[in-house]
């Protein structure tokens, strides 16, 4: 009983929200029905929707008539080949050449082999790993070189407290 009363109390807000969502003032009121009192028209529509059409076998190319198969074969035999406009093909080639030239200018270290083929992924990955290892090794050498100087600086700053002073508490 509380739900219909609550809906009745907030019906003005519900109507305003629905009307703003659909962009018209088509909704004026809300009628709250009791549980199980759906209109007969609604239940009839549900019954019609749930009643399935008589099931028929699904038609596929394998189950079609011989005439359809014959006309499909004739059609597939005479389908014209794809026509390419020569102007468009030339434009595509020009764009491809221009993109390759820009790529070579932007990434000169990634040029292909001397015979014009591109570098394989394995070779590029190996080169990248070698470069990364060289950077890591350089960083390790630098850290090792700086470590002795750092230890002498920090050793001067660290003072060891008297062990006897640590045994008593306040």
Q: How far apart are CA 57 and CA 51, in angstroms?
A: 18
**pLDDT at residue number 132:** 93
**Does 126 reside within a domain?**
yes
pLDDT tens column, 78-96: 877 777 888 999 999 999 9
Range of the domain at 6: 2-47
Query: In which residue are the tokens 């434009």 written?
Result: 91
**Averaged confidence pLDDT in the chain:** 78
**Does 124 reside within a domain?**
yes
**Does 129 reside within a domain?**
yes
**Does 20 reside within a domain?**
yes
pLDDT tens column, 15-39: 999 899 888 888 888 887 777 766 6
**pLDDT at residue number 35:** 72
Residue 8 has pLDDT above 70, yes or no: yes
Contact 118, 125 (CB under 8 A): no
Closest CA to 15 of 26, 6, 4, 5: 26
**Does 11 reside within a domain?**
yes
Q: How many domains does the chain have?
A: 2
């Amino acid at each position: 009983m509380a739900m219909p009363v609550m809906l009745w109390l907030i019906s003005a807000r519900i109507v305003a929200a629905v009307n703003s969502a659909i962009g018209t003032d088509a909704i004026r009121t809300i009628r709250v029905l009791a549980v199980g009192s759906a209109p007969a028209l609604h239940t009839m529509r549900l019954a019609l929707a749930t009643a399935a059409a008589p099931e028929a076998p699904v038609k596929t190319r394998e189950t079609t008539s011989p005439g359809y198969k014959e006309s499909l074969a004739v059609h597939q035999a005479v389908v014209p080949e794809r026509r390419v406009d020569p102007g468009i093909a030339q434009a595509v080639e020009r764009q491809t050449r221009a993109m390759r030239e820009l790529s070579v200018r932007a990434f000169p270290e990634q040029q292909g082999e001397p015979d014009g083929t591109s570098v394989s992924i394995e070779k590029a990955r190996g080169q990248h790993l070698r470069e990364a290892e060289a950077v890591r090794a350089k960083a390790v050498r630098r850290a090792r070189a700086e470590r002795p100087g750092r230890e002498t600086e920090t050793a001067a700053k660290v003072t060891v407290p008297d062990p006897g002073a640590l045994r008593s508490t306040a």
